[in-house]
């Protein structure tokens, strides 16, 4: 019998940001009990919690860096690092991927919290809303750092259950509750399907851990690889992979599991839509990369997932064209962005399947793209929210003449839409460039890069339509006057992030040039 791993207080440093979020979320509940309906105070506590968690992320970073260079994705065949990077009985991993995603998720959560600072006024229990946002962000962090199927399932359900409530938080609005029940039914069904797949993986490998250390000298992936050669176990592995993909595909909103997206995004409160389209999606991708790259053998899933990525890009972009509501337009655009990111994951898997040396394009494409996506999508949604607060409409036609009514908002929207479309002088271009490069560098995936390029051109069309309405149609309403500190900060952060990624890209490119063969 292997010796049990004793827990120690020090290991809790690896989840310090999560602990900060937990304390902050509970503090918000206390705030609601002691000072009910104090939106300003609870917003400050919520923002402070997320900022503190972002600072606390330095602790696991420091711990991981103590063992020398941190591998970007922990490899089970690398015993030196599995001992230092796994903690809490091997359920939490703090490799580069986990830490990078945690930084992305916390930044996204912080911007959403800033966006909703004033939005909370319309709720009876504002601090409860912020507390749910904090808990949902906590769940997304746990998902990004999960190294065990049990942990992935728990974190995913924690994330889902908090988001069901957030989506239906305007509980006297039929739209919001309808979105909530649709989201709930989709989420609960896909999670149950995923759980069945996980139980099969457990039966096949005898462990739920992705990087089992005790009493084994080989990784689970190697074991699955061997099992794949047997005709008895092969179908079970493929079924398990398919079932788990259902759950993760729901979270990331890739194509066959995307039907809920437009309705749920449309019906939910705008800050919650922002949260779902960015933080929840990024967390889903963290788990998707973790499960598919380090658990299932790549040569089996690369083909099907490449087709799904292509379908996601085509369908998301085509369906966005006829939309007349800005929230639905951005919902379909978020589906298409999931397709681009999935293309990056597929390219990564393809390199692994071919046994080729991974380049920085493949490793960093997905996180860099998601980081830019956080800033540009949240920026665009912050503009949408500001517009809604004054005009009470999400129809694109009502954006007519925004350039005269509020030139700052109009130009910010142009900036974020250009970035979403991936037009060269913006951060979105850097992200797309990396992903396209990753797909081209992977053997046999050039067709996926072509699909991505063509669909990007399509996306320019529908983003341009919004710009056209804002600048070329006459204004029908008076100048916009509302100013609000929370959204102003959110917009500022989004612009700063988008610009910083673009300006820092020179450094990235230099790094790639040095690393590329």
Partner 1 sequence: MDPLNAFLIVSAGLFSVGVFGVLTRRNAVAILMSIELMLNAANLNLIAFARFGDPTVLAGQVFAIFVLTVAAAEAAVGLAIVLCVYRNIRHINVDDLHILKW
Partner 2 sequence: MPEGPPGVTDFQAIAWFAILAILFVVVALGLSRLIQPHRPKPEKLTTYECGERPIGQAWSQFNVRYYIFALVFVVFDIETIFIYPWAVRLRNFADLGIGPFMFVEMLVFLGILVLGLVYAWRKGVLKWV
Residue 360 contact partner, candidates partner 1, partner 2, none, CB within 5 to 8 A by sort of partner: none
Q: Which of 11, 84, 125, 199 binds partner 1 (CB under 8 A)?
A: 199
Which residues inside 135-194 make contact with partner 1, applying CB under 8 A? 149-150, 153-154, 157, 160-161, 164-165, 168, 171-175, 177-182, 184-185, 188-189, 191-193
Nearest distance in Å: CB 477, partner 1: 26
Residue 482 contacts which entry, partner 1, partner 2, none (Cβ below 5-8 A, type-dependent): none
Which among 276, 279, 277, 308 is positioned nearest to 292, based on CA atoms? Answer: 308
Q: 284-310: b or e for each residue (b if 16 or more CB lie within 10 Å)?
A: bbbbbbbbbbbbbbbebbbeebbebbb
Judged on CB neighbours under 10 Å (0-12, 13-18, 19+), 10 is: exposed
Contact 180, 164 (CB under 8 A): yes
Q: How far is CA 80 from the centre of its chain?
A: 30
Rg (CA), the chain: 22
Residues 222 and 76: beta-carbon distance below 8 Å: yes
Rule CB under 8 A: say whether 1 interacts with partner 1.
Answer: yes
- Closer residue to partner 2, CB minimum distance, 123 or 265: 123
Smallest distance, partner 1 to C-beta of residue 157, A: 5
Tracing tokens 């989201």 back to the chain, one arrives at 183
Under the criterion CB under 8 A, does residue 318 sit at the interface with partner 1? no
Residue 12 contacts partner 1 per CB under 8 A = no
With residue 158 as reference, give the H or E element that holds it.
helix 149-167
Q: Which is nearer to partner 1, 263 or 398 (CB)?
A: 263
Question: 128 or 266, CB closer to partner 2?
Answer: 128
Reported as half-sphere exposure (CB side, CA atoms, 13 A), residue 517 has a value of: 5
Contact of residue 33 among partner 2, partner 1, none (CB under 5-8 Å per partner type) = partner 2
The stretch among 11-19, 46-54, 198-206, 289-297 that binds partner 1 (CB under 8 A) is: 198-206
Restricting to residues 252-271, name those near partner 1 by CB under 8 A.
259, 262-263, 266-267
* Between 57 and 161, CB nearer to partner 1: 161
Alpha helices by DSSP H, listed for 277-426, are 281-294, 298-320, 326-353, 360-391, 402-405, 407-421
Footprint of partner 2 on 96-125 (CB under 8 A):
125
Q: Comparing C-alpha atoms, which of 195, 197, 178, 166 is closest to residue 260?
A: 178
Q: Beta partners for 87?
A: 92
What's the closest the beta carbon of residue 460 comes to partner 1, in angstroms? 26
Provide the minimum distance between the beta carbon of 151 and partner 2 in the complex, in angstroms, as a whole number.
Answer: 16
Q: Check if the beta carbon of residue 159 is closer than 8 Å to that of residue 136.
A: yes
Task: Identify the residue among 18, 21, 32, 449 touching partner 2 (CB under 8 A).
Answer: 32
Residue 7 in contact with partner 2, rule: CB under 8 A: yes
Q: How far apart are CA 303 and CA 358, in angstroms?
A: 19
Write the Ramachandran bin of 422: left for phi over 0, alpha for psi from -120 to 50, otherwise beta. left
Q: Show the binding pattern over residues 384-423: x = contacts partner 2 (CB under 8 A), - = does not.
A: ----------------------------------------
Q: Look up residue 72 and give its DSSP letter.
A: S
Phi, psi at 173, each rounded to 5°: -100, 120
Residue span 180-209 as binding mask against partner 2, x where in contact by CB under 8 A, dash where not: ------------------------------
- The candidate with the shortest Cα–Cα distance to 25, out of 113, 124, 104, 127, is 127
Q: Binder to partner 2 among 9, 235, 355, 517 (CB under 8 A)?
A: 9
Kindly state the helix (H) or strand (E) to which residue 92 belongs, with its residue range: strand 92-93
CA 166 to mean position of chain CA atoms: 17
Comparing C-alpha atoms, which of 478, 512, 311 is closest to residue 404?
478
Quote the least distance from Cβ 138 to partner 2, whole Å. 12
User: Is 33 among the residues that bind partner 2 (CB under 8 A)?
Assistant: yes
Nearer to partner 2, 23 or 460 (CB): 23
CB of 33 to partner 2, least distance (A): 5
- Counting contacts by CB under 8 A, is residue 2 touching partner 2? no
State whether residue 314 is helix, strand or coil.
helix
The SS3 call for residue 86 is: strand
Pick from partner 2, partner 1, none: which does 26 bind, CB < 5 to 8 A by kind? partner 2
Q: Which residues bind partner 1 (CB under 8 A)?
A: 1-2, 149-150, 153-154, 157, 160-161, 164-165, 168, 171-175, 177-182, 184-185, 188-189, 191-193, 195-196, 198-200, 202-203, 206-209, 259, 262-263, 266-267
Instruction: Summarize as ranges the residues that interact with partner 2 (CB under 8 A).
Output: 4, 6-7, 9, 22, 26, 29-30, 32-33, 125
């Amino acid at each position: 019998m292997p010796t049990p791993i004793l827990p120690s207080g020090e290991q809790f440093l690896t989840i310090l940001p999560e602990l900060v979020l937990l304390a902050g979320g509970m503090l918000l509940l206390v705030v609601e009990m002691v000072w009910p309906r104090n939106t300003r105070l609870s917003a400050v506590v919520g923002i402070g919690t997320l900022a503190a968690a972002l600072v606390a992320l330095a602790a696991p970073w420091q711990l991981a860096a103590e063992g020398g260079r941190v591998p970007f994705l922990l490899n089970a065949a690398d015993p030196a690092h599995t001992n230092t990077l796994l903690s809490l009985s091997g359920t939490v991993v703090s490799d580069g991927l986990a830490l990078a995603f945690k930084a992305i998720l916390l930044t996204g959560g912080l911007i959403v919290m800033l966006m909703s600072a004033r939005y909370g006024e319309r709720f009876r229990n504002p601090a409860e809303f912020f507390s749910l946002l904090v808990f949902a962000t906590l769940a997304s962090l746990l998902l990004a750092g999960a190294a065990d199927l049990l942990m992935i399932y728990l974190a995913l359900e924690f994330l889902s259950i908090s988001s069901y409530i957030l989506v239906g938080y305007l509980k006297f609005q039929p739209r919001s509750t309808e979105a909530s029940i649709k989201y709930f039914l989709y989420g609960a069904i896909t999670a149950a399907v995923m759980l069945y797949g996980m139980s099969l993986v457990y039966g096949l490998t005898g462990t739920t851990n992705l990087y089992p250390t005790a009493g084994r000298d080989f990784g689970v992936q190697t074991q699955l690889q061997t099992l794949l050669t047997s005709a008895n176990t092969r179908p079970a592995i493929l079924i398990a992979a398919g079932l788990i993909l259902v759950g993760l595909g729901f979270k990331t909103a890739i194509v066959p599991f995307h039907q809920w997206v437009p309705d749920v995004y449309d019906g939910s409160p705008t800050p919650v839509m922002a949260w779902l389209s960015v933080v929840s999606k990024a967390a889903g991708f963290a788990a998707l990369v973790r499960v598919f790259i380090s658990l299932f053998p790549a040569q089996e899933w690369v083909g099907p997932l490449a087709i799904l990525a292509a379908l996601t890009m085509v369908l998301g972009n085509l369906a966005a064209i006829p939309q007349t509501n800005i929230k639905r337009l951005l919902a379909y655009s978020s589906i298409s962005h999931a397709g681009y990111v999935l293309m990056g994951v597929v390219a990564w898997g393809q390199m692994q399947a071919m046994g080729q040396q991974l380049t920085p394009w493949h490793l960093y494409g997905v996180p860099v793209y998601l980081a830019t996506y956080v800033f540009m999508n949240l920026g665009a949604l912050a503009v949408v929210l500001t517009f809604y607060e004054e005009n009470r409409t999400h129809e694109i036609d009502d954006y007519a003449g925004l350039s005269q009514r509020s030139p700052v908002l109009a130009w910010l929207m142009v900036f974020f839409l250009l970035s979403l479309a991936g037009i060269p002088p913006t951060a979105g271009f850097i992200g797309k460039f990396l992903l396209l490069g990753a797909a081209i560098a992977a053997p046999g995936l050039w067709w996926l890069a072509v699909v991505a390029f063509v669909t990007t051109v399509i996306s320019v069309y529908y983003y341009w339509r919004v710009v056209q309405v804002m600048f070329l149609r006459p204004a029908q309403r008076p100048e916009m006057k509302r100013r609000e500190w929370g959204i102003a900060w959110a917009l500022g952060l989004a612009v700063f992030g988008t610009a910083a990624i673009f300006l820092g890209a020179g450094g990235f490119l230099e790094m790639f040039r040095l690393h590329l063969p």
